[in-house]
Structure 1
Amino acid sequence: MSDPEFISGPHRVDQPHPDMPQALADLLGRVTVAGGATGFTTTTELETITAVAQGIVDDLSQRPKRRHVLTAGQERALAGAVVLRPGELPVNRHRGEVEWLLVDPDLQDRGLGKQLLDAAAVHAQALGLTQLSLSTRSGQGLEDFYAAQGWVERGRWPAALRVGEDDSRDQIWFTRDL
């Protein structure tokens, strides 16, 4: 990344660029290697991460959309992205899940995560959603970040996530009313 002052976005992705699957996979990889809570480990094969990124981009062309993506970029690289998945069943169509909040590790602590999360909330409201949920893992101080953004911790599953052979973390669920 070049100068962090020239980040564009967040932007809603309506028509994904042909390079978006690879750009999203690259961002997922950078965040994973830096220890981010992506659901992958540093030993996850690149092909697996790329396939997941391709699936997210493919979902953008579904009608109705199965996922919504908002991005922030710099030149031709993704600086950050948030992936929002609206509920699909009649009993949960009023809510959505923030599946990923990704910020390039070199751009952490500059407010980009907050901007993306706020943009996701505004977009969710535009979709008619009234609640959002997300889950993250313990051990990185993310609980404090989400609480500061108005998210409420709803529960923990101790040692539910295994990020390394001898490294288990709690899975933590948050919600936010819109």
Structure 2
Amino acid sequence: MPLTFTLDPAVDPALHDGILDLWTDVSNAGGAVGFVPPVAREAIRPELVKQLAALSEGRARLLVGHDEDGRVAATAFLTFNTHRLMTHWLWLYTVMVHPRHQGKGYGRDLLAAAADAARTFDGIEAIRLTCRGGLGLERFYGSCGYKEVGRVPGAIRVEPGDDRDDIMMLLPLA
């Protein structure tokens, strides 16, 4: 059964906790969403608060996918670029699908829903994201229409002796 996506849902305590649980579970399953396992909810909470502050300030929009049981199963934050010469594209951050739903095509669905949402925003012509090298994520994003437009070798230090490339990807919306 497909996920049900909602753009800009009301962030109540249940959604807050659902996103926090999702982020923790994805991180602890090895997902490249800013943390390295093992990680506790309390370590992730400040980052979630920063994302939610961007929502409340109008700098970002939230896309949430719920599964058939109503649980938070996927998220992405669409963040507007504030540089006056770059407002024609936005950033896609914290792209996550719960590990229990991996392999069902929900990642593709999430990216398609994010692109559909971005097309409704005035003046937005492209989506940009970065991903951690060494996991094949650039192949996944490439299969969804994103093009690699840059790479910074060794920019992400997962742990001492394990540096990964920071890969920049772009999806034109036209």
Report the TM-score, using the length of structure 2 for normalisation: 0.90
**Number of residues paired by the alignment?**
171
Q: 1:80·1:102 contact (CA, 8 Å) conserved in 2?
A: yes
Structure 2 match to 1:34 = 29
Structure 1: gaps spanning 5 or more residues:
none
Q: Does 1:110 align with 2:122?
A: no
Structure 1 match to 2:140 = 145
Structure 2 match to 1:156 = 151
2:119 pairs with one of 120, 125, 128: 125
2:65 pairs with one of 57, 69, 72: 72
Q: Distance in 1 between matches of 2:61 and 2:20?
A: 16
Structure 2 match to 1:84 = 78
Query: Alpha carbon RMSD of aligned pairs, Å?
Result: 1.6
Structure 2 match to 1:175 = 170
- Cα displacement (A) at 1:24: 1.1
Q: Distance in 2 between matches of 1:20 and 1:51?
A: 16
Q: Does 1:10 align with 2:5?
A: yes
- Cα displacement (A) at 1:17: 2.2
SS of 2:37's partner is coil
Structure 2: gaps spanning 5 or more residues:
none
Q: Distance in 2 between matches of 1:18 and 1:66?
A: 21
Amino acid paired to 2:157: R
Q: Distance in 2 between matches of 1:78 and 1:14?
A: 12
Q: Which moved more, 1:126-135 or 1:49-58?
A: 49-58
